[in-house]
Amino acid sequence: MTGRQGGSTALALLVVAAAATACGPVDAWIDEAVAAWRTCRGVALAGRVSDLVTPIGLSVVVIAVVRALWRGRPRASDVLRVVVALAAGALLVGALKDFLDRPRPGAEFLGPGGGSYPSGHVANTVLAGIAALTLWWGGWPVRISWRGWMLLAVALAIVATARIYERRHWPSDTIAALAIGGLYGVLAILHPDARWRTVTTALGLVLAGLTHVAASYGIKVRLPASTAVSRTKPVDHITFGSAHEHGLLRGDWALDVPDPRRHSAWLHSQRGELLLPTPKRPVEELRLVARPRSDLEPGTCERLRVDLNGRRVGEALLQTGWRAYVFPITAADLRSAGNVLAFEMSRDGKKVTLPGTREAAFSELTLHGAGEPAAR
């Protein structure tokens, strides 16, 4: 790679990283499409893939370092510089995740500290791959074969798919991670001019330190997530604990353990209903915060189907812990009075048949419209 090619590539990657933040509608569409394909086994497999990223990445880099030192190409001092550049890049990615505050999918209700943009798993895979290929080649100028780039591309596709399928990142988070990791890697590791590599590594460390300090003092850049939920104030807000106390829940419900953060209620049967007031303004999304039981057998999952006035608005695989599940609705779905939101539980595609068993806890429900910025 020549210096001019490196500069052009870096500029293109910078544009891609910035443009990824504007992919909200596409992100939301992909997340909704993937939801229909999520299964318990699939989510578990994606989690295992994510867990293997760090140990495999470190192993590959260590092997490349040992091979380079054994062959004497590049020199030991250059090998050390590559390792330092890799470490600085990893620190920078971690700091950016805190400074660029974007909620993860299903965590729009958590507030500051989203950590979704960029994907650390993808960015670090890019950095580790570039470092390993550079060391494997033996130094500069680096002319990595197409087989090496293809191997890295396959690894990135697997990692990015796992993070999206697991709902740990929006698709644009992985694209931005690829661009940011590639931008840094091209200048700090691949660039043929040692001065560029040294300056970029130093700037990476300085930027990592500055963004870390800024985030620790609450100075963050707010990046919206990819649904209207994160971009608008709620038109209406209902907690299930209050709904239970006011007789708005139908079916076998019980209050959850008192929690100052979540006034929630448990559904103890296959089906339950919530009497929903008519919104004062048009709405386009419904956000439901819920969590499944934590004592389910391994490989067992719970699915939640949501109907509004008899029309199905969506279905979701409930994942561990409190998460937000977003369903699109329209003004035509709502009546002037007597709106009923129904929840139906199933396990592995089979209906729950044991009455009186806790199935899922529901915390809050919010209705969201378009055009009014969210208060954060």
pLDDT of residue 295: 76
- Sign of the four-CA dihedral 359, 365, 369, 372: negative
- Reading the block at residue 229, the tokens are 């939920």
Which of 187, 222, 257 is the last residue before a domain boundary? 222
Query: What are the pLDDT digits (tens) for 14-71?
Result: 777 777 777 777 888 888 888 888 888 898 899 999 999 999 999 999 999 999 999 9
On whether both 211 and 252 belong to a single domain, the answer is no
Regarding whether 116 and 170 lie in a shared domain, the answer is: yes
Percentage of the chain beyond pLDDT 70 is 86
CB 194 within 8 A of CB 134: no
CATH, residue 234: 2.60.120.260
Q: CA nearest 89: which of 209, 215, 205?
A: 205
Shared domain check, 235 and 213: no
DSSP letter at 1 equals -
Q: Give the pLDDT confidence of 252-276 residue by residue, as tens digits.
A: 999 887 666 678 999 998 899 999 8
Long-range contacts of 372-376 (CB under 8 A, 24+ apart): 372/232, 372/233, 373/231, 373/232, 373/233, 374/224, 374/230, 374/231, 374/232, 374/233, 375/233, 376/111, 376/112, 376/222
Boundary residue ending a domain (192, 222, 252): 222
Q: Are residues 47 and 195 in the same domain?
A: yes
Assess whether 244 and 158 both reside in one domain. no
DSSP 355: T
> Which of 158, 189, 222 corresponds to the end of one domain?
222
What's the pLDDT tens digit per position in 173-197?
999 999 999 999 999 999 999 999 9
CA distance 130 to 61: 10
Are 335 and 235 found together in one domain? yes
- Within 8 A by CB and 6+ apart from 376, the residues are 111, 112, 222
> Domain limits at 362?
228-373
Pair (183, 234) in one structural domain: no
Same domain flag for 192 and 68: yes
User: How far is 244 from 339, CA to CA, in rounded Å?
Assistant: 16
The pLDDT value given to residue 4: 57
Whether residues 205 and 305 share a domain: the answer is no
Give 287-313 pLDDT, tens digit per residue. 899 998 877 776 678 889 999 999 999
CA distance 227 to 23: 11
Together in a domain, 130 and 240: no
186 and 233 assigned to the same domain: no
* 246 and 186 co-located in one domain: no
- The reported pTM is 0.84
Number of domains in the chain: 2
